Amino acid sequence: MDADTQRLIEAAREAQSKAYAPYSNYQVGAALLTRDGRIFSGCNVENAVYSAGVCAERVAIAKAVSEGCREFVKIVVVTRNGGSPCGICRQVMFEFAPDMQVIIADLEKILQTTTVRDLLPAGFGPQNLS
């Protein structure tokens, strides 16, 4: 495992520990690597109105974008059982980095390495609005 992936896994696990998930009890952490080497992490934040919740992947991306970063290289998503990003997260990732590497891990190991494009084939992106 390369050093970037190790740093991302550690950051995602740390973010997972901060998740606010009183309804599902399904804590998710994500850590995003930008082209310039910065890491942005996020955790899921649930709400009593379920649709108002925000996934960890989208939190990490929003943090990066709010800091001026829009070029993403890799994201690690950590859950207790290696759950894959939801459809909305796949769409948001596709918006910025369809070829970004996605690493899905549980609490102990990497379970899958793929790309956003493979998770969302025929995704809808900015080019579709031209």
List residues with catalytic annotation: 57
Return the SS3 of 85. Answer: coil
Report the SS3 class of residue 69: coil
Report yes or no: 61 and 93 within 8 Å, Cβ to Cβ: yes
Query: Exposed, middle or buried: residue 13 (CB in 10 Å: 0-12, 13-18, 19+)?
Result: middle
